[in-house]
Amino acid sequence: MAHRVRKIPIAAAGALFGALISLFLAFSAAAADRPAATDVRLAGDDRQTRLILDLTDKVDLSVFTLASPYRVVVDLPQVAFRLPAKAGETGRGLVKAFRYGLVMQGGARVVIDTKGPVRVDKAFVLPAAEGVPARMVLDLVATDRDAFMRDLALANRQRAEQRRADPPPATIRSAGDPRPLIVIDPGHGGIDTGTKAGAVVEKSIVLDFATMLRDRMEKSGKYRVAMTRTDDTFIPLAGRVKFARQRQAALFISIHADALPKGEGEAEGATVYTLSEKASDAQAARLAEAENRADVISGVDLAAEPNDVADILIDLTQRETKAFSAKFAAALVNDMKRVARMHKHPLKSAGFRVLLAPDVPSVLLELGYVSTKDDLKQLMSDAWRARTADSIVQAVDSFFATRLAGANGGN
């Protein structure tokens, strides 16, 4: 039987085309209105160093310092970074290196690694004038550790007082929708690229995969789905945990793609991790340490961690959540191994901070190794990602089927 082709009236097609053009122009205008960083340079020596960032418009900024390791963090409004390739990879004077990117919603950040303790002598932005672009100027002066730690303690006390004055975040409840909420967490993002393989970066791989997984879960109609990030934005580890807890998530899946450092051999296949105080092996411990450094990489002030972190650590003894996490991890491995290559030891555990929610079953899924040629090829394959995403949805189905059966059996 021949299929009839439905014709769109010319007027309707024209209206649709016009709407799309208007939408494109609106997005283009929004992007054009956003300030951009176009160049950066360093000057000075080991006593005083200046960093200059050229901008298309004047912006506000705030600056703070961090220790262990020594860093200077510059927070800006959302800025489009159009800096030369490899900008920040090498330093000068007091600066070892620096990195930049989006962090949280509506903000950007520059994190400067310094060779030792420094004092921020000046930090300001000059408006554009006489053909010279707007400029952010940051002057760093060498200091001693005692003076650095005194300034840091004072700044931390001021931020703590501000946090106590802020109202606590409210729980975000669904509007009467009884379906389980699944939180998908694409790792890294923004200023934190994650692992790299040439031009391929982990933060992009996992965001693409997480978006496909979300769409497939939503298509089933069985679940509500939320993502910790939907663009190239960094979210602190505690913020990812809080995101799931505030929404009373029924399951948390953090998506990553590992890489072995040079000289550590080769490995391949996907691995599923759960939380434990003691790592299941040395490789799991190494990975957890690397992933837990995400906040350090992005310049997160660990002194600003929420007050309930201590409660979270205490609540880790909650056996039910751990048991549910282990049960889902086993189901995930069982369904994924039918369509994807798995690591020779696919179930592991370690102290991942992103899995700390005491009341949300949580797993961290390493899709594969970007440092392994065959794994990277699969990670870049739409067909492989589709099959793997479908297997994860099947694992989620199995997990909630057994949970509901257990709950009904107990009544």
Could you report the per-residue pLDDT of 53-91, keeping only the tens digit for each? 999 999 999 999 999 899 999 999 999 999 998 999 999
Instruction: Identify which of 119, 123, 121 has the alpha carbon closest to the alpha carbon of residue 110.
Output: 123
According to CATH, where is 3.40.630.40 located in the chain?
A: 181-409
Integer Cα distance of 238 and 241 in angstroms: 5
Instruction: Identify which of 237, 234, 254 has the alpha carbon closest to the alpha carbon of residue 191.
Output: 234
The answer, yes or no, to whether residue 5 has pLDDT greater than 70, is: no
Instruction: Identify which of 35, 30, 34 has the alpha carbon closest to the alpha carbon of residue 135.
Output: 35
Superfamily of domain 181-409: Zn-dependent exopeptidases (3.40.630.40)
The answer to whether 213 touches 83, Cβ cutoff 8 Å, is: no
The answer, yes or no, to whether residue 386 has pLDDT greater than 90, is: yes
Of residues 5 and 374, more confidently modeled:
374
Average pLDDT over residues 279-292: 93
Could you report the per-residue pLDDT of 165-210, keeping only the tens digit for each? 766 666 676 678 899 999 999 999 999 999 988 888 999 999 999 9
Mean pLDDT estimate for the chain: 86
Class of CATH domain 36-159: mainly beta
Backbone angles phi, psi at 164, to 5 degrees: -65, -30
The answer to whether 378 touches 341, Cβ cutoff 8 Å, is: yes
Could you report the per-residue pLDDT of 298-352, keeping only the tens digit for each? 998 776 555 454 455 445 547 889 999 999 999 999 999 999 999 999 999 999 9
According to CATH, where is 2.60.40.3500 located in the chain?
A: 36-159
CB atoms within 10 A of CB 122: 11
Could you report the per-residue pLDDT of 205-250, keeping only the tens digit for each? 999 999 999 999 999 999 999 999 999 999 999 999 999 999 999 9
**Listed range (209-213, 274-278, 318-322, 385-389) with the worst mean pLDDT:** 318-322
Q: What's the confidence (pLDDT) of residue 137?
A: 98
CB atoms within 10 A of CB 347: 17
Radius of gyration of the chain (CA): 24
Q: What's the confidence (pLDDT) of residue 79?
A: 94
